[in-house]
Amino acid sequence: MIRLPDEEDVQYAKKQLVEKKKLAAIIGAVLILAVVFFTTDLVNYFNIITQSTNKPELCPLYEPLAPESYLKDNSTLFTILNDEKFRLQSVQKLAKAIQVDTQIGDDQPDVDDAPELWIQFQDFHKYLEDTFPVIYENLEVEYVNTYGLVYTWKGSNTALKPLLLTAHQDVVPVQKDTLDDWTYPPFEGHYDGKFIYGRGSSDCKNVLVGILESIELLISKGYTPSRTVIAAFGFDEESSGRRGAYNIGKHLEKKWGKDSIYAILDEGPGLQKDPVTGQIIAAAATGEKGYTDVIVELTTPGGHSSVPPDHTSIGIMSELAYIIERDPYSPIFTDQNPLLKYLQCLAVNSDKVPTLTKKAILRAGFDKFANGKVVEVISRRAETKYLIRTSQAIDIVKGGEKANALPENVKLTVNHRISVETSSDEIHDHFTSRVIEVAKRHGLGVVSFGKKVFAGDGKSGVFVVSSSQSLESAPVSPSNDTVWKYLAATTRHVFEDAVFTNLTYPIIVAPVVMPANTDTRHYWNLTRNIYRYSPFFSVDLIKDSHIHSVDERLRVDAHLQLIAFFYEYIQNIDTSESDN
């Protein structure tokens, strides 16, 4: 029998329908959510939010390490840092170094070809002999290419690789028209109770004098090292070190061999207040960006300017310049860049980094979205923007002779500081492609690095692209080995035990990348462990020291901290535990 549906059945069916609709709605909502989640940034944010911040292994903190002599009697370290007599002696030594004017120009001929241009270094050597007699009595002194200085303090254990401490004797020129702007004359070495003023006071006669003072002090305390200590000072760092450090590097490689050095400490960053955390962070540069000057020359037929072509060579070159500037290099941020580890060190060790930022940083090495977020933040600040991208600066343009003659020859020089992930070849190729783009519009030929890469019409003219100077980015020094551990542990000891005795947090020691190059470019063969590191504290190094500028100066407290660091470091690494 077929039963007709009654009221109950109808109600039941209706209920079922409502339930089904509800279910469908829920499924629909979930689906929509899923679509939104996976096609928008939600999933990316979710990944960041759920990232663990408990990753101490990414950047271990090494406990402060004090040498035996300090544990027996800590007075020498505190004398260096706090004793008025020691301070004034130190000031004298540095002031006298500043008084010897060792300015050098760009591209000076070699010493033998133009001795008169380098004569000031004789005076500087005389100053060193007069000021550091103990050094000259106890260390072997070698002269490399006449003015390069290599001091060797022989250690008793030849199984230990020598430590190499470096700085440069030369200073950048003082521009004549700025002389009136200096508060104290640039070669007086004036001391106002806090600062020493003068060219070279912070770049970097302070490092040179500090190295010698610390060794002299160790000798006077009767210290005899197991590990050989070498101090080497070039004399044209401000002009790429071709005469000084280049020859010193060759000399040391010949004398000691490839990979023969324990570590190199050269001028570089030190301790600063980190703007994000407000905490004191020690930063040692473990890498340097690359460098290339690209020169492009355009030659076109000349003629009278009463019957000009639509575009003169200057006009065409301007078009190229416009294209270059319209197309800056994009940021690139990978784990090849020491800056990533710097941020990781802060993220895992500082409680002052906001949690979400921490999480994004910890994913930035492998998660494209998180990487983009971090890149955004780094790119916002002018000081950090170029740590993660190649810079290009059109620095020289030359062309044109006369108002009524067409310019036949125009030359443009573009300086690049190359990101650590990029090679100079890539920069040259990219540059050439821009030149070809312009050449095509004007029927011009292009010769790039000796190769004809675009033919042109054979009559309009030709671009020639070349480079005067190129340097690949430096091999990145380890920041996870024993050598690094001793560097970090000594830093913490000096600055936590003696300089800032009431810090409420550990000093994080982290690697960074330098956008500029030092003499160490010539020392790559000597060791992988190259640190551009001048551990002294300044709230803001550039603002505090006016490097390369008017009123260059150095806080004397900072100078004393550097001496204290070298004094403890040389002792701390004087064992085989600190690695051979």
Ligand X SMILES: *[C@@H]1O[C@H](CO)[C@@H](O)[C@H](O)[C@H]1NC(C)=O
The residues that touch ligand X, with contacts defined as CB under 6 A, are 74, 249-250, 253, 478, 480-481, 497, 500, 502-503, 522, 525
Question: Rounded to whole angstroms, how far apart are CA atoms 262 and 526?
Answer: 9
Q: Which does 203 bind (CB under 5 to 8 A by kind): ligand X, Zn ion, none?
A: Zn ion
- DSSP at 493: I
Concerning whether 170 is annotated as a catalytic residue, the answer is: yes
Phi, psi angles (nearest 5°) of residue 3: -95, 135
Minimum Å gap between C-beta 500 and ligand X is 4
Choose, by CB under 5 A, the member of 165, 204, 298, 317 that binds Zn ion: 204
Site for Zn ion in 248-267 (CB under 5 A): 267
Which helix (H) or strand (E) segment holds residue 297: the answer is: strand 290-299
Region binding Zn ion by CB under 5 A among candidate stretches 20-28, 86-94, 157-165, 204-212:
204-212
Q: Which does 481 bind (CB under 5 to 8 A by kind): Zn ion, ligand X, none?
A: ligand X
Nearer to Zn ion, 490 or 520 (CB): 520
Nearer to ligand X, 461 or 535 (CB): 535
* Nearby residues of 133 by Cβ (< 8 Å), 6 or more positions away: none
- Cβ atoms of 564 and 59 closer than 8 Å: no
Question: Rounded to whole angstroms, how far apart are CA atoms 143 and 417?
Answer: 32
Question: Rounded to whole angstroms, how far apart are CA atoms 505 and 497?
Answer: 12
The residue among 388, 146, 430, 384 whose CA lies nearest residue 274 is 384
Minimum Å gap between C-beta 268 and Zn ion is 9
Question: Rounded to whole angstroms, how far apart are CA atoms 248 and 473?
Answer: 21
Query: Can you count the helices (H) and strands (E) in the chain?
Result: 18, 17
Q: According to the binding rule CB under 5 A, does residue 236 interact with Zn ion?
A: no
Amino acid at site 495: F
Instruction: List for the chain the helix, strand, coil content (%; round to 5).
Output: 45, 20, 40
Minimum Å gap between C-beta 52 and ligand X is 20
Nearer to ligand X, 16 or 480 (CB): 480
Question: Rounded to whole angstroms, how far apart are CA atoms 225 and 6?
Answer: 106
Q: Which does 204 bind (CB under 5 to 8 A by kind): ligand X, Zn ion, none?
A: Zn ion
Nearer to Zn ion, 203 or 288 (CB): 203
Nearer to ligand X, 94 or 232 (CB): 232
Query: Which of 237, 297, 472, 519 is flagged as catalytic?
Result: 237
Token pair belonging to 567: 């004094």
- Cβ atoms of 52 and 363 closer than 8 Å: no
Minimum Å gap between C-beta 200 and Zn ion is 9
Minimum Å gap between C-beta 251 and ligand X is 10
Can you tell me which residue has the tokens 């990753």?
Answer: 55
- 516 to each of 124, 291, 326, 479, 494, how far by Cα in Å? 26, 8, 24, 20, 28
Q: Which does 522 bind (CB under 5 to 8 A by kind): ligand X, Zn ion, none?
A: ligand X
Minimum Å gap between C-beta 395 and Zn ion is 20
Q: According to the binding rule CB under 5 A, does residue 519 interact with Zn ion?
A: no
- 411 to each of 111, 323, 432, 539, 552, how far by Cα in Å? 30, 16, 15, 42, 34
* Nearby residues of 302 by Cβ (< 8 Å), 6 or more positions away: 405, 406, 407, 408
- 91 to each of 42, 65, 97, 461, 462, how far by Cα in Å? 59, 28, 10, 61, 58
Nearer to ligand X, 155 or 338 (CB): 338
Minimum Å gap between C-beta 77 and ligand X is 9
The site that binds Zn ion (CB under 5 A) totals a number of residues, namely 3
Minimum Å gap between C-beta 342 and ligand X is 15
Hey, is 270 helix, strand or coil?
Answer: coil
Query: Which of 170, 266, 267, 552 is flagged as catalytic?
Result: 170
Q: Which does 525 bind (CB under 5 to 8 A by kind): Zn ion, ligand X, none?
A: ligand X
Question: Rounded to whole angstroms, how far apart are CA atoms 252 and 150?
Answer: 9
Nearer to ligand X, 102 or 424 (CB): 424
* Binding letters toward Zn ion, positions 145-184, x by CB under 5 A: ----------------------------------------
Region binding Zn ion by CB under 5 A among candidate stretches 149-157, 201-209, 291-299, 492-500:
201-209
Nearer to ligand X, 197 or 523 (CB): 523
- Cβ atoms of 507 and 272 closer than 8 Å: no
Q: Which does 274 bind (CB under 5 to 8 A by kind): Zn ion, ligand X, none?
A: none
Residues at the site binding Zn ion, with contacts judged by CB under 5 A = 203-204, 267
| Residues carrying an active site annotation | 170, 237
